[in-house]
Structure 1
Amino acid sequence: MHDSARWLSLDELEQSVSKTDFPYEANPLTGVNTTDAHAVARAIDTETRSVILHVPFAGWLLKAVGRDTDVMDGHLVYLRVLRIRLSSLLRRCPEPPRVKNELQTTDCSRSKPSCTSSDIRLHPEWECVTHDLNIGFITDPLADVFCHQPGYLNADEFYLLNDRFQRTYDAGQDIDPAATFRADLTFFRGIRDMPPASLASSITNKDLRCFQVSYALMLSEADGEWGRLLGRSWSHRYKDTIECLRKDLRYRDLLVQLAMCLYKQGNFHGATAIAEGLRPAACAPDTFQVEWTMIPSELRRIVEYECNFRACRDHLRDMRKRGKPALPFIFPIFREYQLSVESLRRHEPSSPQYEACLRRATSNTDDLLLSRSYPGKTEVVERIGSVFQFCIWF
């Protein structure tokens, strides 16, 4: 844990935010087929997303805590001007009723930063309204993080989020256009303020709830959402690990201790994410001062890529046989389950190969449901088990 902290005054931060120019003369629909609602919505979202970085991160944060700045006012004015121009263009486009109807039902942008197209899409007469456009996808999470600190901000937290903000919206990088800014600082604050063992227990409880929700989604009609939920959970922790190392190398040893605590608690969902986050740091030892040999052998073993993380899967299977509770690193196990089911369907039910594939698929099912080994967490998992067994047979 580290007690030292630097603080930023909101007054000084406000003075540091300078004005910027917005591309008022740009026409985002140049070259766009205005009869294609998907193309129109994509062009609008691309333009609104491209000007996000015209406002410094400090401007967004100040807006989130209730302080207006000239640059944010300019941003909102630009979006209103953009909406007026787009409304005018859409009114003149061929077959406006059809395009309007498609815009109302199109969800071409999987992310929330659709500052303009969503408003045009939903407005019945293509007209502009005067209230502020939707910027809550950035300001609301920031308000949740910083609203309790009206006068000063922790400098490390500010610069960490600033770096994350730049990486999310930097148009010059090959980044998923559907990516949204994430303001969650739970992991960073935990590493900074909590003993590794206490933080590991908190993470394991959170991950257990995530598995419960994911398994419940598996029973719903949300196709693949259960896997995406677990994937986001794992990916966020992996990225948080790298961010902590970028912020301060003194967190290196604490991250290793945290991963070992998770390993000992049987949380391989969390332990593998942190170990994988330490891997790229070990590939750049001059920058991060992390050698792969500094990582305990137990952690290195469970993230070995060979044979679809075979060592990790074997270790989890051994824990299952010994009755030890565990949260699995589910993605290689699920891939192995899929391969087992595919192999099963290629053989006749009376063949020895079929029996061998059936045993393997059944074992994979038990591996996928390792979280049921935690007391009092079995009902939904048992229902999921029946779903997996159904998939094996059909």
Structure 2
Amino acid sequence: MGTHVIKMPDIGEGIAEVELAQWHVKVGDLVVEDQVLADVMTDKAMVDIPSPVHGKVLSLGGQPGEVMAVGSILISIEVEGAGNLKASDHLVKEPAPIKEAAPAVAAPKVEAAPVLESKPAAACRPAPQAPVARDADERPLASPAVRKHALDLGIQLRLVQGSGPAGRILHEDLDAYLAQGTQNARSGSAPSGYAQRHDEEQIPVIGMRRKIAQRMQEATQRAAHFSYVEEIDVTAVEELRAHLNEKHGATRGKLTLLPFLVRALVVALRDFPQINARYDDEAQVITRHGAVHVGVATQSDVGLMVPVVRHAEARSLWDSAAEIARLATAARTGKAARDELSGSTITLTSLGALGGIVSTPVLNLPEVAIVGVNKIVERPMVIKGQIVVRKMMNLSSSFDHRVVDGMDAALFIQAIRGLLEQPASLFVE
């Protein structure tokens, strides 16, 4: 038997170190070739590290959340044959030895002394009671002092079982109610809706969550954010979308609003090239792009990811729709490649039906603009002196004021508004 050492691979793009995000194996596991051993996080994407061999895991080279240099030992696997262990590879981090617990020693049995005193007052208190179900407007019997005591403790009297005459609630009943909540917490039983809770949970900020936190903090610290919100009547474009889905949905696929928004971005950016740009603030260089690579913010189980629809300017509605769906699935399942998560020139973010009325999206640096989509709602609007029901939606967008002037941002969003309110103009060349 030999040892095969797997080192942190060179993932490319000049990356010198990566974060170990998650192990998929543990010491003692049997692994097969191509089985994913660990996930590592670069500045742009999560990367799977597969096993090149069959064997048994001997040791792990790091803990989740640890930043490891490219070339450092990631994992050691026992294999048939000589393996690839070299003299320079002996610095594998061995797991700390597990100390065996000392055998329990029975405490000497002590005979209880006879009880000579009377029972303490606490023993005479009522036994803990489960919460009582009373109507919301029912006023239980209790003295003013008990009511004040309950208020100070944050207890609703209608939930307390009274042990006094005619069910009157006493101070002891409040103590019993609190004791019941404590007992539930210790036993692991589900607390009532009004019971006090003292549980805590600490969650390490590692992997994708740490990268998101770092990028959001960097964006807000480095860019001069300003937001602009505009209301758009999307009745006409929604009617067009419904018509196209009815006519071509079975053969070409269903369209959401996103492909129309992508098309509106493409057309509007022709007149606003300063917005389809990336700003290198260290080199003090603005790069304006002819190609429109649209980042589409996508929520996944590991956090927010931004897959990129490349060359949106050359895509039809259905082509954009298919690419958005493909990338969203890849991002949510962790299958998006690194080059699919980088290189965007402008970002589109939407919470769909949960989009709210207004939002203030954070820039996806080094881009200088992000367009946020809020939910569609029906509202009464005045059109030509008549009150009519229209489908309305807000665009809440943010810009980097170091690069984009306020007037240009407003005109850009107004251009998108005009295109969506007259959707035929989306396709007029």
TM-score range, shorter chain: under 0.3
TM superposition score normalised by structure 1: 0.22
TM superposition score normalised by structure 2: 0.20
* Greater helix fraction, Structure 1 or Structure 2: 1
Q: Which has the larger radius of gyration?
A: 2
* Greater strand fraction, Structure 1 or Structure 2: 2
